[in-house]
Chain A
Amino acid sequence: MAHAEAHAHPATSTGIDNRKLAIWTFIGSECLFFASLISTYLVYRGKSLVGPFPKDIFEIPLVTFGTALLLFSSLFVVLALNAAEQGNRGKTILWLGLTITCGLFFIGMQVYEFSHFFHKGLTMQGNLFGASFYTLTGFHGTHVTIGVVWLLTVFIELLRGKLPPAKALNLELAALYWHFVDVVWIVIFPVVYLMN
């Protein structure tokens, strides 16, 4: 019964809930946004005349840890959605809480990385690598932060008992955005950190 409620949606001309269509269209536009930033990074790769250079400052183990955090958070949020659609409030709280925790740790990792790089002399104005690196990863970090805030609002809704299976779409929309943030990092991690 709860599952059937979760799957109910209003009749629309496309047969798809308008909010879901909106988030997918937004994700489509975000693809173009990040494509511009990634291509800018690639165009300027190896063109810096002065250091610090990527090989001087990157810490692959730390970023690999951050990558694992985002991958696990994607798994946790899809498990949270699965539990929400089945009306299992306890599991939804557990998985969504873990998702938010992973997101917060990722933001912490990025703040540490940025301050570490800054102390090593990498600035926005210093060289092309600094400008393109901070712009690309900074915008991604901002998206992660927005995703965490969005998931927190859904989490509060859940704790207040206002997320029944019929309203699982509220979590699904936030989860779709969160997965998109993850797939962007799946591209950034090898392009920026591993192929330096």
Chain B
Amino acid sequence: MAHSHAAGETAAAEHNFPEKAGEYVRIGVILVVLTALEVGAYEVAHRAHGTALGAAWFVPTILVLSALKFALVALYYMHLKWDGRFLKGIFTFSLFVAAIVILALMVLMAYHYSFAGTLPKVG
């Protein structure tokens, strides 16, 4: 009973998408603006390199803008906002493991470079 209720809830959540193309277009405009901000930040950081303004703010800014774009496409265009928890779970779990893979490899290789010398000279 509980199982069929959960299945019904998932089915009801599935395909409850917005019917108006206008919402998709608004998200598209936001994505274009965020991309323009990314490139603008790149230009500012590029020109400020070596000056008092510096470029320490650049990487966090770019990562936040990129994460916003990623979330907008996943939530609205891939319909995760309206999909059931099961599909959301599959994707977020995969992203979580992917983030762990990236962080683990970077920490491991940073340790390698710090304490075990550099890579062999291959190019």
Number of interface residues of B (CB under 8 A): 57
> Could you tell me if B93 and A28 are in contact, using CB atoms closer than 8 angstroms?
yes
Complex: A182 Cα to B118 Cα, angstroms: 35
A51 to chain B, nearest CB (A): 10
Interface set of B (CB-CB < 8 Å, partner A): 3, 6-11, 14-15, 17, 19, 21, 24-25, 27-28, 31-32, 35, 38-39, 41-42, 58-59, 62-63, 65-66, 69-70, 73-74, 76-78, 84, 86-87, 90-91, 93-95, 97-99, 101-102, 105-106, 109, 118-119, 121-123
- Tell me the A residues contacting B by CB distance below 8 Å: 3, 6-7, 9, 12-16, 20-21, 24-25, 27-29, 31-32, 34-36, 38-40, 42-43, 47-50, 60, 64, 67-68, 71-72, 74-75, 77-79, 82-83, 85-86, 125-128, 130-131, 176, 179-180, 182-183, 186-187, 189-191, 194-195
Contact status of A24 and B90, CB under 8 A, knowing A128-B123, A182-B73: yes
| Neighbour of B73 across the interface among A42, A72, A186, CB < 8 A | A186
- What are 10 A-B interface contacts by the 8 Å CB criterion? A16-B86, A38-B102, A48-B123, A71-B31, A74-B77, A131-B123, A179-B78, A189-B66, A194-B42, A195-B62
B residues in contact with A128, CB < 8 Å: 119, 122-123
Question: Complex formed: what's the CA distance from A187 to B9 in Å?
Answer: 33
Q: A82 and B10: CB pair below 8 A?
A: no
* A190 partner residues in chain B, CB cutoff 8 A: 38, 62-63, 65-66
Task: Taking A6-B15, A7-B15 as given, write out 4 further A-B residue pairs in contact, using a Cβ cutoff of 8 Å, ordered by the A residue number.
Answer: A36-B101, A43-B105, A128-B123, A186-B73
Instruction: Tell me, rounded to whole Å, the shortest Cβ–Cβ distance linking B54 to chain A.
Output: 15
C-alpha gap A190/B69 in the complex (Å): 11
Q: How far apart are the CA atoms of A72 and B106 in the complex, in Å?
A: 33
A31, B105: Cβ atoms under 8 Å? no
A71 contacts B101, C-beta separation under 8 Å? no
Using Cβ atoms and an 8 Å threshold, which residues of chain A touch B17?
82, 85
A47 and B42 in contact, given A79-B24, A186-B73 (Cβ under 8 angstroms): no
Beta-carbon contact of A71 and B63 below 8 Å: no
Are A179 and B77 in contact, with the CB atoms below 8 A?
yes
Q: Which residues of B contact A74 (CB under 8 A)?
A: 28, 31, 73, 77
